[in-house]
Structure 1
Amino acid sequence: MDRLQQSTWQYVAEVLLPAELPMLAAHVLVDGHDSPALRELAGLPRRSDETEIRELYVQALDELGIPLPDEETAGRRLLVSLAVGLANAELSAKEVVDRLSMTVAARTPEETQFLSIAADYSEWMSADELPGWESGLRTAAHSLTVSIDERARARPVPS
């Protein structure tokens, strides 16, 4: 998935901040995408008005024919992204919980399990409870990433 496509769910899930969008636009131009709004966005300083940045980003997507996903889709992609980050040791269990900033809907048993264990976190967990919770979250993350890989392999390749 290219950088611009990936940015759409990150934008909707609110993990991509408006201040990051001008630099993203510059990278996307280098990647070969081009539109008037994208060029204008790439030229803005990071500290520009957030409303203007957001409007230009959405306009650039429209000009390039790239739709924004709905909140449920963005939330599910966020969930998977966090599970992959945890399974690959790129994120800690606490970072996963901290990044679940929006309401995320789970559709599969693996998504439900991962989200359920993440929701069990409490800053008041005892030192004895924390390792068990982290282990459970890592196991659920692994199950979720495996299920995604299995579903991807089961899809027929379009001719």
Structure 2
Amino acid sequence: MDRLQRSAWQYVAEVLPPEELPMLAAHALVDGRDSPALRELAGLPRRSDATEIRELYVQALHELGVPLPDKEAAGRRLLVSLAVGLVHAELSPEGVVDRLSSALAARTPEEARFLSVAAQYSEWMGADEVPGWENDLRAAAHSLTASTDLGSEAVG
């Protein structure tokens, strides 16, 4: 999966802020992708109008034939990417919680379990409760990554 395809689900899952899209477009140009909207987006400063950035990004994806997934598919990919990040020690358990999004969706029992355990975290948990929660989250992450057909693209 290339950078733009990965960015499409991250964008829909609301984990890719608009100010990162101009640099993403510049990298896509370096990777050999090209379209008028992509070039225009790559030339914008990070602090440009967020609406203009979003519109150019969506237009560039359209011009390049990269579809935007629906919210459910994007949320499921986000769940898997969080699980993969935890399994590969690229994310901490708290880092997983910090990256949860309102776009998350769970269709399988493994996805539901991972989301459920992640949602149990609270900054008011006692020090004796955190290790058990972390172990439960890691176990749920392993179960999810072993059962998924959604790929293993980590959240960047």
Distance 1:60 1:103, change over 3 A: closer
AA aligned opposite 1:131 = P
Amino acid of the residue matched to residue 55 of structure 1? Answer: E
Structure 2: any 5+ residue segments left out of the alignment? 151-156
* Identical columns (%): 79
Q: CA deviation at 1:14?
A: 1.1
1:123 is displaced (CA, Å) by 1.4
> What's 1:123 paired with?
123
**What SS does structure 1 have at the residue aligned with 2:105?**
coil
- Deviation track 1:69-96 (CA, whole Å, cap 9, x = no partner) reads 1111111000000000000011110110
2:58 corresponding residue in structure 1: 58
Deviation at 1:13, TM superposition (A): 0.9
Query: Match of 2:49?
Result: 49
Q: How much does 1:134 deviate? A: 0.3
Residues of 2 paired with 1:111 and 1:121: CA distance? 16
2:39 alignment counterpart: 39
> How much is the aligned-residue C-alpha RMSD, in angstroms?
1.1
Supply the distance in 2 between the matched residues of 1:71 and 1:79 (Cα, whole angstroms). 12
Structure 1 residue 34, shift from structure 2 partner: 0.6
The code of the aligned residue for 2:25 comes to: A
Pairing 1:82-101 to 2, within 5 Å after superposition? 82-101=82-101
**TM-score (structure 1 length as normaliser):** 0.91
Partner of 2:72, secondary structure, is helix
Output the TM-score relative to the length of structure 2.
0.93
Aligned length: 150
CA-CA distance at 1:102 after TM superposition:
1.3
Greater C-alpha radius of gyration? 1
Q: Are 2:136 and 1:136 equivalent residues in the alignment? A: yes
Confirm whether residue 10 of structure 1 aligns to residue 13 of structure 2: no
Tell me the amino acid that sits aligned with residue 65 of structure 1.
G
- Distance in structure 2 (CA, Å) of the matches to 1:11 and 1:103: 10
**RCO (CA 8 Å, sep 6+): is it higher in 1 or 2?**
2
